[in-house]
Structure 1
Amino acid sequence: MADHFLYPDVAAAGDLRVLLQRAFDGAGIPLRVGPEQTPGRVSVEAGDRSATVSTATSSRAFLIQLWTRTVQMAYGSIDTPDRAAAAIGMFLSGVPLRRLTSAWPFLTFTGFAEAFERGEPYAIAFRWQEYLDISSTRSLPLLNLHAFLLAASTEPRLRALFPFTSHADLGFRRQVSDPASRSLAWVRPHGEGRYLVTGPHRARLGRPGPIRTPDLGPVPGALGPAGPGESVTLVLRAMAEPG
């Protein structure tokens, strides 16, 4: 629940949903605010775009996140609900990111978001560029995956896929933003310069090689461990196997 001292307008309205809806209505913006997901957090949708608004706890700020499907396109904070509503309304109307942030400088977007705005192939290419960067700001999981990523980047069949990380693992899928686009393969570092590989069943990364069970007989495990180049071949093999 929003702090009454920081947010007397929210308290007077009853909740954040009512306050933001009044801001939309007052500006003539034909949007409907959904019910509070949790106290002090609401969402607004229009087509494949959406916005979430929440109240900060340490100081007065309406925290805004703007999305196209599952990709965060822009974010920012402002202390007035009317300006928050106007910025959200502009984004949900479909305007490009640069025009949006020129009108509302408190909003920020990333290079990846701008690439995605141009189309999924641009977003995939941008993500590969990010992951191949070996600057000092790289996270440890990406540093551990770097040798594999260098080898994979020379294989057109992998370069056409969207790479993403989950904890220490690297996954590949065909689409950037579709939650139903399943992972085609997974890669996990396994010692220096060596990797385990599996297809869509990520749990197999925890058991290298075929596992024999009393009831089921041999159960497939991860492929490898192998070096970067061989691991690329194993990824292609895992993707081609059924199931």
Structure 2
Amino acid sequence: MPTPPDPTVLYPDVAACGSLAAALQAEGEGCLGAVPVTSSDSEPLLHAAVASTLQHREPLQISAWRHERRWSIWGTEPFQSLPLINSTTDDLAEVAKAARAWHDGAVLNDIRRAAPFVHLTGRFEVPDLDPARLTESEWQGMRQEAAELEYVWQETYQALIEAAYAEPALRALYPFTSHWALRFSTTTRPRLTVVGPCLAAGSDGTYTVGTGIVTPDLGRFATAREAVALAVRQLPPGLGPVTLGE
């Protein structure tokens, strides 16, 4: 990969302000006003953060690309460190608008209304850390991710996620993926407790069930429904409600 240009070449306006934090406060017709914006000590032209008034939101992370004039945003919740919003844009004023809405505690849909470039991941906020709601949120995020994929096997993968979600025994478990293989836990992040088999969608349109990610030793099927049915039969008995993975 070629050496990236000096940040002052891609971002002369930011350099003129002295930092990305200062440039953000000058953008969007000054919409950030007196909102505290911090910059990275080591790379002040490339990284900044805007805190939220809500305790269940981490500071919005803003990063400049190194090879192209563009900025990424990343807004997470603190318990699981999972993104609620993300996206990229070449318009720093739009970044400032998103940062202001994140800081002010606007609901996620209103953040996107304020800055239409913002991508909602599908997860929703669970301030009280109710495990059932965190599980529901993760399923919603996973289903949206599957619907938005652009890989050639997107339809196969989405069919697997939807078939698993349609099965109450699996929907009651906390879902996660590893190397695009669907797995389940009886606890939420950050400390997962893996239970049951591993489900995967193949590039050939088939579905596998296995005891591990790369060991489809329990079966290969032509439909997602068949694979899910076997996964349900492989679940241990007596599973209780999902708990927090503390």
Q: Give the TM-score normalised by the residue count of structure 2.
A: 0.61
What is the SS of the residue equivalent to 1:48? Answer: coil
1:96 aligns with 2:102: no
What is the aligned-residue RMSD (CA, Å)?
4.4
* TM-fit CA distance, 1:84: 2.8
Distance 1:45 1:236, change over 3 A: farther
What residue number does 1:107 align with? 118
Q: Percent identity?
A: 22
What residue number does 2:13 align with? 9
Alpha-carbon distance in 2 for matches of 1:7, 1:15: 10
Contact 1:31–1:44, Cα closer than 8 Å, also in 2 = yes
Largest Rg, 1 or 2: 1
What is the SS of the residue equivalent to 1:4? Answer: helix
- AA aligned opposite 1:42: A
Alpha-carbon distance in 2 for matches of 1:173, 1:186: 10
Contact 2:7–2:45, Cα closer than 8 Å, also in 1 = no
What residue number does 2:60 align with? 51
Q: Give the TM-score normalised by the residue count of structure 1.
A: 0.62
What is the SS of the residue equivalent to 1:158? Answer: helix
What residue number does 1:161 align with? 173
* TM-fit CA distance, 1:53: 1.1
Distance 1:37 1:224, change over 3 A: farther
- AA aligned opposite 1:143: T
What is the SS of the residue equivalent to 1:66? Answer: strand
What is the SS of the residue equivalent to 2:116? Answer: coil
1:140 aligns with 2:153: yes
Q: Which ranges in structure 1 are unaligned for 5 or more consecutive residues?
A: 198-203, 209-222
Deviation per CA, 1:111-170: give whole Å up to 9, x if none.
x14xx247535424535755897x9967638726956963x4454231112323222421
What residue number does 1:63 align with? 72
- AA aligned opposite 2:74: Q
Alpha-carbon distance in 1 for matches of 2:208, 2:73: 41
Aligned length: 213
Distance 1:188 1:160, change over 3 A: closer
1:235 aligns with 2:235: yes
Contact 2:24–2:96, Cα closer than 8 Å, also in 1 = yes
Distance 1:233 1:127, change over 3 A: farther
Q: How does 1:62-81 map to 2 (within 5 A)?
A: 62-68=71-77, 69-80=81-92
- AA aligned opposite 1:160: A
Which gives a bigger RCO, structure 1 or 2 (Cα 8 Å, sep 6+)?
Answer: 2
- AA aligned opposite 2:218: G
Deviation per CA, 1:45-81: give whole Å up to 9, x if none.
433323121223455333323333412324342533x
- AA aligned opposite 1:140: W
Q: How does 1:12-23 map to 2 (within 5 A)?
A: 12-17=16-21, 19-20=23-24
Alpha-carbon distance in 1 for matches of 2:201, 2:10: 50
What residue number does 2:210 align with? 196
Q: How does 1:107-126 map to 2 (within 5 A)?
A: 107-110=118-121, 112-113=122-123, 116-117=124-125, 119-120=133-134, 122-124=136-138, 126=140
Deviation per CA, 1:154-193: give whole Å up to 9, x if none.
54231112323222421123566x3234443440449845
Q: Which ranges in structure 2 are unaligned for 5 or more consecutive residues?
A: 127-132, 221-225, 241-246
What residue number does 1:211 align with? none
Alpha-carbon distance in 2 for matches of 1:72, 1:58: 26
Alpha-carbon distance in 2 for matches of 1:131, 1:168: 11
Q: How does 1:156-235 map to 2 (within 5 A)?
A: 156-174=168-186, 178-189=189-200, 192-197=206-211, 204-206=212-214, 224-225=218-219, 228=227, 229-235=229-235
What is the SS of the residue equivalent to 1:230? Answer: helix
State which of 26, 36, 47 in structure 2 corresponds to 1:30.
Answer: 36
